[in-house]
Chain A
Amino acid sequence: DAGVIQSPRHEVTEMGQEVTLRCKPISGHNSLFWYRQTMMRGLELLIYFNNNVPIDDSGMPEDRFSAKMPNASFSTLKIQPSEPRDSAVYFCASETGPGNTIYFGEGSWLTVV
């Protein structure tokens, strides 16, 4: 049973470049979350979707960040243009529905130089 799959696992990019992170949730899960891990704030919720619809994007830092979920099995988180302060680990997670256990992917390690 495949878990949440994220790609790329690691990315190093130059400031100003566009970065796209990808996520495949667990099949049958209706909710998808994007989190960012930083030393200062731990795991920050950026955005979450329920049945492919964005429900709460209040955690998205600024307009440079955007997320889409075109179908139940795929989501992207895009940063354009990227900045060094965006360097972090970005986690995608999914759950069967509100109140159930959230399962995380292994994360995408982003370094912007």
Chain B
Amino acid sequence: DQQVKQNSPSLSVQEGRISILNCDYTNSMFDYFLWYKKYPAEGPTFLISISSIKDKNEDGRFTVFLNKSAKHLSLHIVPSQPGDSAVYFCAASANNQGGKLIFGQGTELSVKP
């Protein structure tokens, strides 16, 4: 039972354009959402997060949007750069579950020069 889903296994974008990565969740108790980035042969690293009391959080080129009614979040990268090419994991946690992070399957982003 996949509580966090990333339905697009891959995404290809031209350098300078916007990258939009999507994530859906099923557990309405989730109240904290994160995006992690993973390069080959490395562990995932934290990128950006959002609490359920917000609907947007921005950090430089990265913006995360949360739509609680649709149980959907997205990561926007503008402008996309070749160095952004990596696997992006969406993750969610519920405060009443002791900080356990549930991850999606990941989306591999390729930014072409």
Partners in one complex: yes
B-contacting residues of A (Cβ < 8 Å)? Answer: 4, 31, 33, 35, 39-45, 48, 50, 55-56, 91, 93, 95, 97-107
- Report the Cα distance A42→B8, complex, angstroms: 12
Query: Which residues of chain B come closer than 8 Å to A56, judged between CB atoms?
Result: 97-98, 100
- Is B95 part of the binding interface, using a Cβ–Cβ cutoff of 8 Å? yes
A-contacting residues of B (Cβ < 8 Å)? Answer: 2, 6, 32, 34, 36, 41-46, 49, 89, 91, 93, 95, 97-106
23 A-B residue pairings within 8 Å (CB atoms): A4-B43, A31-B99, A33-B101, A39-B105, A40-B105, A41-B2, A41-B105, A42-B6, A42-B106, A43-B89, A44-B103, A48-B100, A55-B98, A55-B100, A56-B100, A91-B43, A95-B99, A97-B99, A98-B93, A101-B49, A102-B46, A102-B101, A106-B42
CB distance from B90 to the nearest CB of A (A): 9
- Report the Cα distance A4→B98, complex, angstroms: 20
Name the residue of chain A whose CB is nearest to the CB of B104: A42
Query: Which residues of chain B come closer than 8 Å to A4, judged between CB atoms?
Result: 43
Q: In the complex the two chains form, is B43's CB within 8 Å of A42's CB?
A: no
Q: In the complex the two chains form, is B89's CB within 8 Å of A101's CB?
A: no
A44-B103, A48-B100 known, 4 other contacts, Cβ within 8 Å: A48-B98, A93-B43, A102-B101, A107-B42
Q: In the complex the two chains form, is B104's CB within 8 Å of A99's CB?
A: no
Q: In the complex the two chains form, is B100's CB within 8 Å of A43's CB?
A: no
Q: In the complex the two chains form, is B32's CB within 8 Å of A99's CB?
A: yes
Query: Which residues of chain B come closer than 8 Å to A35, judged between CB atoms?
Result: 103
From B2, B45, B95, A99 is in contact (CB under 8 Å) with B95
